[in-house]
Amino acid sequence: MIILGIETSCDETACAILEEKNGSFSVLANIVSSQIALHSAWGGVVPNLAAREHLKNILPVINEALKKAKLSSNEIDLITVTNGPGLIPALLIGVETAKTLSYLWQKPLIGIHHIEGHIYANFIPLERNKVGVNLKSQISNLKQIQNSKSEKEKGEEIKFPILCLVVSGGHTQLIFMKKHLHYEIIGETLDDAVGEAFDKTARILGLGYPGGPVISTKATEWTSNVHFGHSMSKITLPRPMISSKDFNFSFSGLKTAVLYLVKKNEKLLSDKNFVSAVCHEFQSAVCDVLISKTMRAAKKYNPKTIMLAGGVSANTQLRQQLGASVKDELPHASYIIPDISYSVDNAVMIAVAGFFRYKSEKNKKGLRDNWKKLATSANLKLN
Ligand code: KG4
Ligand code: ZN
């Protein structure tokens, strides 16, 4: 079956076309039009500007996806779209476009929770399988790979129950899945999401938006023997809630600790050794807390698979440190992470999640009428 996915919940206008054959997926098109350059001038995403850009880009992006996949509208079997949570002005552009196409093309329509999409990014075949190891270095824009087949369907390897650590710009959650499409949230952030903490910390350090990638790069520039200031060469930040017995998180205090540190040492902001030391310690504090809680939850819930999902799952230290902990402490569990190009927002993940929703839907015919009733919600719940 051929699935067309649409994602516009934040600052990426994305459309993907996915082919499913006997449970195996091929990505036929993956188009992402990013608005980062526009929003970085404002230090974060401005909802109405995002909506204006989505409106401008949505039809060209869909058109480009069909062209890349070499398909016409009548070859599409299912339309899936993110209908929450996210920025309402942004979400509405994707949802209204999907409803219009469903009505015009007479195709079934399914709304997908954005975080469900991130979780199902783990079921997308690996890029290295799709493009071949030798070709990978020649592909400069991983966001536009087309017509590539997986040698082995990644979904086959994934065993339930799954424990998934969701880390994005809007969410930080530990989710236990006994089976497909069943979610038990066993812990979540009590204040800032972890991606939000990266973004706010980068702003405090004058590093721009989005904060995750830049903090991660600066952190790699740190070495233990660098010195800065007269008396200060070691920075220690707190690991909030690392010892609490529950599986919840808190990141706003960590960001505030960086704010106080910078206020006390304002002159050092121009010293690149100071900035890289703060980035390194901040990232380590985040990883220590996330991993300690995930491992503790894993020991309680005994999952067969531990997964990472959401934009922050692109973070190299998090990917490596969690992988090492799973290997050391839970050698019988599998560790699955999304391909880097599918960690941040994209529409392939929405199409994959849509496929699993479609498979489990009892009233498939009713999906043809979904264009009349699909609702958009900024605070959509995962269930
Ligand atoms: O999932 P996503 O693309 O959008 C939301 O659903 O929110 O996540 C965006 C977040 C941003 O906060 C961004 O700073 C963070 O993911 N991010 C990273 C990295 N790449 C993106 N955080 C840490 N390290 C990265 N390499
Ligand atoms: Zn996201």
Residue nearest to atom 18 of ligand 1 (CA): 212
How far apart CA 132 and CA 149 sit, in angstroms, is: 10
Amino acid in the structure at residue 263: K
Sign of CA dihedral 43, 165, 26, 327: positive
Which has the closest alpha carbon to 168: 311, 349, 283? 311
Angle subtended by helix axes 194-204 and 252-264, to nearest 10: 10
How far apart CA 86 and CA 83 sit, in angstroms, is: 8
Residue nearest to atom 13 of ligand 1 (CA): 212
Amino acid in the structure at residue 261: L
Does residue 170 line the site of ligand 1, with CB under 6 A? yes
Does residue 345 line the site of ligand 1, with CB under 6 A? yes
Domain architecture of the chain: domains with CATH: 2-127+342-372 (3.30.420.40), 160-337 (3.30.420.40)
How far apart CA 278 and CA 205 sit, in angstroms, is: 9
When pLDDT is averaged across residues 232-259 and rounded to a whole number, the result is 95
* Residue 373 burial class via C-beta count within 10 angstroms: exposed 0-12, middle 13-18, buried 19 and up: exposed
Q: Name the 3-class secondary structure at 89.
A: helix
Residue nearest to atom 16 of ligand 1 (CA): 311
Q: Measured from the CA of 316, which atom of ligand 1 is nearest?
A: 26
Which has the closest alpha carbon to 309: 283, 285, 345? 345
Ligand nearest to the CA of 349: 2
Residue nearest to atom 3 of ligand 1 (CA): 344
Does residue 216 line the site of ligand 1, with CB under 6 A? yes
The one-character DSSP state at 209 is S
- Identify the pLDDT of residue 57: 97
Q: Report the 3 state secondary structure along 314-333.
A: HCHHHHHHHHHHHHHHCCCC
Q: What is the pTM of this model?
A: 0.92
- Identify the pLDDT of residue 88: 97
b/e 26-48 (16+ beta carbons within 10 angstroms → b): bbbbbbbbbbeeebeeeeebbbe
User: 155: which 2 tokens?
Assistant: 């979904």
Does residue 325 line the site of ligand 1, with CB under 6 A? no
- Identify the pLDDT of residue 151: 32
Does residue 85 line the site of ligand 1, with CB under 6 A? no
Task: Specify whether the CB–CB gap between 79 and 102 falls below 8 A.
Answer: yes
Does residue 12 line the site of ligand 1, with CB under 6 A? no
Which tens digit of pLDDT belongs to each residue from 319-350?
999 999 999 999 999 999 999 999 999 999 99
Q: Which residue has the higher pLDDT, 115 or 225?
A: 115
Does residue 8 line the site of ligand 1, with CB under 6 A? no
Which tens digit of pLDDT belongs to each residue from 118-129?
999 999 977 544
Mean pLDDT of the chain: 91
How far apart CA 357 and CA 151 sit, in angstroms, is: 24
Residue 136 — very low, low, confident or very high, per pLDDT cuts 50/70/90? very low
Residue nearest to atom 14 of ligand 1 (CA): 212
Which tens digit of pLDDT belongs to each residue from 1-18?
999 999 999 999 999 999
Does residue 310 line the site of ligand 1, with CB under 6 A? yes
Residue nearest to atom 22 of ligand 1 (CA): 212
- Identify the pLDDT of residue 383: 85
Q: Is the peptide bond before 210 cis (omega within 30 degrees of 0)?
A: yes
- Residue identified by tokens 């990883």 is 287
When pLDDT is averaged across residues 195-204 and rounded to a whole number, the result is 97
Ligand nearest to the CA of 219: 1
Please tell me the distance between residue 76's alpha carbon and the centre of ligand 1 in angstroms. Answer: 31
b/e 61-82 (16+ beta carbons within 10 angstroms → b): bbebbbebbebeeeebebbbbb
- Identify the pLDDT of residue 141: 30
Does residue 11 line the site of ligand 1, with CB under 6 A? no
Please tell me the distance between residue 114's alpha carbon and the centre of ligand 1 in angstroms. Answer: 14
Q: Measured from the CA of 169, which atom of ligand 1 is nearest?
A: 7
Q: Measured from the CA of 196, which atom of ligand 1 is nearest?
A: 12
Angle subtended by helix axes 272-301 and 316-329, to nearest 10: 40
CA 150 from chain centre, in angstroms, equals: 21
Task: Specify whether the CB–CB gap between 273 and 130 falls below 8 A.
Answer: no
- Identify the pLDDT of residue 234: 86
Radius of gyration of the chain from its Cα atoms, rounded to whole angstroms: 21
- Residue identified by tokens 């999401």 is 193
Does residue 315 line the site of ligand 1, with CB under 6 A? yes
Which tens digit of pLDDT belongs to each residue from 38-67?
998 888 899 999 999 999 999 999 999 999
Which tens digit of pLDDT belongs to each residue from 369-383?
999 999 999 999 998
Please tell me the distance between residue 119's alpha carbon and the centre of ligand 2 in angstroms. Answer: 10
Q: Name the 3-class secondary structure at 43.
A: coil
Strand 78-84 to 24-34 pairing: unpaired
Please tell me the distance between residue 66's alpha carbon and the centre of ligand 2 in angstroms. Answer: 23
Please tell me the distance between residue 301's alpha carbon and the centre of ligand 2 in angstroms. Answer: 26
Q: Is the peptide bond before 108 cis (omega within 30 degrees of 0)?
A: no
- Identify the pLDDT of residue 225: 76
Other beta carbons within 10 angstroms of residue 122's beta carbon come to: 23
**Residue 14 forms beta bridges with which residues?**
7, 32
Ligand nearest to the CA of 343: 1
Q: Is the pLDDT of residue 299 over 80?
A: yes
Task: Specify whether the CB–CB gap between 281 and 236 falls below 8 A.
Answer: yes
Residues in the chain: 383
Please list, in sequence order, all residues whose beta carbon lies within 8 angstroms of the beta carbon of residue 43, skipping any fewer than 6 positions away: 203, 208, 209
Amino acid in the structure at residue 70: K
How far apart CA 179 and CA 173 sit, in angstroms, is: 18
End-to-end CA distance of the chain: 25
